[in-house]
Amino acid sequence: MNNPAPSSDSDGCGIRPVTDPCDRLREAIVSGEFQPNERLVEADLSVRLGVGRTAIRAALAVLDQEGLIVREPHRGARVRLISAREAFEIEQVRNALERLLARSAATQAASGDVADLREIVAAMHDRLREDDSLGYMQLNATLHRRIWKISDNQVATKMLVTLKSQSIRFQYGTILRPGRPEQSLQEHEKIVAAIAAHDPAACDSAMAEHLGHVLETLQWAIEAQERERPWSALREPAVGGRT
């Protein structure tokens, strides 16, 4: 299963409100309110978000560093198009980082941490039973980020936040694959069980199985997008040497 925007989740089961201009703009981009290659006009964003243009410029600078947008001289900013190949490669890197953090979490988790993870999984069961796909995705993200926090590896966590922001448009499509949510929930239960048992090897194996299926489902989502959305099959124009 894949994760939605980093700004939308928290350490518990709830979803914190997004108030920071940078977080709000990131949320709008990764949720599809702004399409790939769409121009981001400072004046329009200022009105839309109800903040000054200085705050908008600061937010755009952060999102440029994260790879979500591209700023071009004399032309302003646009949403960066993430190619299918790049999205797949991002998931491959994520695989290695998430397995690293899962192993660490298995050795460091306290009883309170395990209780939190089990509470999130229970809430995921509820969302699945209620056919609440968006709520399930949000809790899925919350569970992964709670594991990151337990691992206490700040460098790897920072890298994962950026990677997920860049690839999220493809990740949203994976929830639509028939049978995937139920399979994903079982995989998350195995990960949490391994953390509760303080078994790094089992946790690594469970996370590897989960993310292997994520890669398979991502390929399915990419192929579906290329059939349905013209922009998804376009090659990203070379701008400023960024790839």
- pLDDT at residue 13, rounded to an integer: 40
CATH number at residue 27: 1.10.10.10
Query: Which is nearest to 218 in space by CA: 90, 72, 42?
Result: 90
CATH number at residue 120: 1.20.120.530
Among 56, 79, 102, residue at a domain's last position: 79
Q: What does the alpha-carbon distance between residue 141 and residue 138 come to, in Å, rounded to a whole number?
A: 5
Query: Is the distance from CB of 22 to CB of 160 less than 8 angstroms?
Result: no
Q: What does the alpha-carbon distance between residue 199 and residue 6 come to, in Å, rounded to a whole number?
A: 27
Place of tokens 């994260």: 66
Q: Which domain holds residue 16?
A: 6-79
Query: Which is nearest to 121 in space by CA: 20, 206, 231?
Result: 206
Tokens of 54: 């200085």
Assess whether 111 and 54 both reside in one domain.
no
Assess whether 88 and 71 both reside in one domain.
no
Please write the tens of the pLDDT for every residue from 74-111: 888 998 887 778 888 888 898 999 999 999 999 999 99
Percent of the chain predicted with pLDDT > 70: 79
State phi, psi for 78 to the nearest 5 degrees: -145, 155
Query: Is the distance from CB of 158 to CB of 151 less than 8 angstroms?
Result: no
- pLDDT at residue 166, rounded to an integer: 63
- pLDDT at residue 72, rounded to an integer: 86
How many Cβ atoms are within 10 Å of 169's Cβ, its own excluded?
22
Please write the tens of the pLDDT for every residue from 149-160: 999 999 999 888
Assess whether 74 and 90 both reside in one domain.
no
- pLDDT at residue 31, rounded to an integer: 67
Output the pTM of the full model. 0.70
Q: What is the block-wise mean pLDDT of the chain (243 residues), using blocks of 10 residues?
A: 40 49 84 82 93 93 87 88 82 92 97 97 95 84 93 92 67 63 93 98 96 86 68 41 35
State phi, psi for 199 to the nearest 5 degrees: -115, 95
- pLDDT at residue 7, rounded to an integer: 40
Which residues make Cβ contacts (< 8 Å) with residue 122, sequence separation at least 6? none
**How many structural domains comprise the chain?**
2
Query: Is the distance from CB of 102 to CB of 197 less than 8 angstroms?
Result: no
